[in-house]
Structure 1
Amino acid sequence: MSQGARLEILGPFQVTCGGRRIAVSTGAQRLLAFLALHREGTHRRAAAEQLWPDCTGCRAAANLRSALCRGRRLGSAPAIDTADRSLALTPSLSVDFHEAWDSAHRLVSGLAPVVDGERLVAVLSQVLLPGWDDEWLLLERERWDQLRLYALEALAQRFQTEGRHLSALQTALAAISIDPLRETAHRIAVEVHLAEGNVACAVKRYLEYRRLLQLELKVAPSPLLTRLVRDLPRT
C-alpha cells in the first residue's frame, strides 16, 4: 500500500494514510466524496448549496467551513486545495473511483489491453457509496452505473472472444446484477452457454429473461436474442 493518503468511495467510505484508517467526521466525508466526484474542482458556494440544500445560505456556508476545517488534511497529508473561491482534492490524494473510472473508459474505448481482467470485474462491481441517499449523489451514481455496465459488457465480450467462457459468464452476470432488464449481458450469457454446448442453460437463460421482461415491462426480447435460441437444431 502507498504511504500517501487514499480515499475510497467505491463501497463504504474510507480514508487511509500510510496504510492506517483515518476517522473522518460526517461533514468532511460528504465534502471529500463530493470533491472526488468533481475532479476539476468546484466553487465553494456550489459545494455548500448541493451538500446542504435544506439549509439557508449562511448555515450551508458555515457547515462547509466546518467540514473544510476537518477534511483539509488527512493525517499529515494535505487533502483539499482551496485556491481563490474554488475547492478541489489535492493531486497527491489517490482516489479509487478515479482509477476505476479511467480504467472503465479505456476498456469501453477498446484502445488499451486488459490487464488482470478478473480484478477489474471486482472493481466494476462496486457500488458508489452504498447507503448514502444524498440528492447530489443520485446522478453521479447513475453515471457510474452506466459506465460500468458498458465496461463489464465490453470485458465479457473480450473474454468470450478469447474463449475464456467462465470469466465471460461471470462478467456478464456482474453486469446483469446492475441492470437485470438490460439485454446485452443476457445475450452474452446465452452466447457463452451455446459456445460451450450447454443448450439447456442457454434456453433457460433466455426464458428467464423473457419472463422478467413480460412481468416488468410487458415487452419481449429483441429478435437478435430470440434468434439465438429459435434457430437451435430440434430433434
Structure 2
Amino acid sequence: MAEAVRGELLGPIRVLRGGRELPLGPPRQRAVLAVLLLREGRPITFEALVDAVWGEDVPGGVRNLVQKYVSGIRRALGEEAGPRWTGSGYVLTGLAIDDLGERRALLARAVAARNAGDPEHAEELAARAEALWRGEFAEGLDGPLLAAERRRWAEKRLLVLETRLESLVERGRYHECVHELMRQVAVHPLRERLVWLLMLALYRSGRSADALVTYEETRRRMARELGCDPGPELRALHQRMLRQDPSLAAELAPGRDAGHSPGLLPGSALAS
C-alpha cells in the first residue's frame, strides 16, 4: 500500500511521505512545485508558469529549464504524485496543500462555533489554525507569484490575529493578550487596529498612563513617517481615555456593532 504524500506551504515548502520529508531539489525547482501546488489541481500554461516563477527576468533556454525542473519534481515525488502535461498546461496530481486545507477547515469550524455562541471554542480552533504556520508562506522561494502570495497571506494572518486578540480583550483576558499586542505593535507600529486594541487592553487592565503613552508614540511616528495624524477611531479612543469615559468598559472595537459577537471575522474574510 502506497504511503500518503502530504504537501505543506504554510512555511518553507515541504512534501512528506509517511512522515519523512522528501528532498525537493534546488530553490527554483521548489518554486515551480509551489506554483503548481497553488493551482490546486487546475492546469497552468507554460507561459503562465514561466511568468509566475521568473517574471520579466526570463533566462535563456527557459523551456529546457522548466522541463528539467518538472522531471526533477517527478523523480522527487515518485509514482504517487507529480506534474503532467495536458492539452491546456501542466497539472499537479496526487499532491495538495494539506496544511492550508486543514487551516481552512479549522477556521470554518471556528466561525461555526462563534455563530453558535461559543467564543472560547472558536478561539481554541483559531489558535490551532494559527499553530499550523511554520514561517512565512512558501518562505525563501523567489518569483512574482509567490512574493504576491506571501504578502497576501501575511495580511490574512494579521486579520485573524487581530480578531483573536480582540476576542480576548472583549472577554476580559487583558493580561493574556497585552504582551502579544505589544509585540505585534512593535512589528507593525502603524497598524492602527493593533494600536487601538493595545490601548484598550492597557486601559482596562488599569494601565491608563501606558495606554496614553502608546497613543502619543503612535501619533509622533505617524507624523514623522506618514505626515498625518492617527485616524478618527484612534483619536476618539484617546479622547475618551482622557475623559475617563466609563462606557469604555464595554466598548467594541472599531467597525463592530453592538449585536456582533466578537472572536472572529466573518467567514468571507477568513477564506483563502
User: TM-score scaled to structure 1, two decimals?
Assistant: 0.79
Structure 1 position 106, deviation (Å)? 7.2
1:68 aligned residue: 70
Q: State whether structure 2 residue 27 is matched by structure 1 residue 24.
A: no
Write the distance in 2 (CA, Å) between the matches of 1:180 and 1:232: 20
How far did residue 133 of structure 1 move? Answer: 3.7
Unaligned runs of 5+ in 2: 117-121, 245-272
Given residue 96 of structure 1, which amino acid in structure 2 is its aligned partner?
D
Distance in 2, matches of 1:154 and 1:108, equals 12
Q: In 1, distance between residues paired with 2:179 and 2:49?
A: 39
Q: Which moved more, 1:69-78 or 1:149-158?
A: 69-78
**Equivalents in 2 of 1:164, 1:125: separation in Å?**
26
Q: Distance in 2 between matches of 1:125 and 1:14?
A: 11
Instruction: Give the Å deviation of 1:187.
Output: 0.5
Distance 1:107 1:177 in 2: 28
Does 2:192 align with 1:183? yes
Deviations 1:69-114 (A, max 9, x none): 1213525531445444333443554432444466567768965834
- Does the CA contact (< 8 Å) of 2:175 and 2:205 recur in 1? no
Aligned to 1:85: 88
Structure 2 residue identity aligned to 1:21: E
Percent identity over the alignment is 25
**Aligned mates of 2:81, 2:203 — CA distance in 1:** 54
Please report the TM-score for the alignment, with normalisation by the length of structure 2: 0.70
Larger relative CO (CA 8 A, sep 6+): 1 or 2? Answer: 2
CA apart distance, 1:29? 0.6
Contact 2:84 2:91 in 1 (8 A): yes
Residues 1:137 and 2:139 aligned together: no
Matches within 5 A, 1:159-178: 159-170=168-179, 172-173=181-182, 175-176=184-185
- Give the C-alpha shift of residue 125 in structure 1: 8.3
**Distance between the aligned counterparts of 1:90 and 1:174, measured in 2?**
41
Question: Unaligned regions of 5+ residues in structure 1, if any?
Answer: none
Distance (whole Å) between structure 1 residues aligned to residue 182 and residue 219 of structure 2: 16
Cα distance in 2 for residues equivalent to 1:75 and 1:213? 53
Distance 1:11 1:75, change over 3 A: same
| Structure 1 pair 49–121 and aligned structure 2 pair: CA distance change class (3 A) | closer
Offset at residue 184 of structure 1 (A):
0.6
Deviation per CA, 1:28-58, whole angstroms, max 9, x where unpaired? 31111112333252423111333234336x8
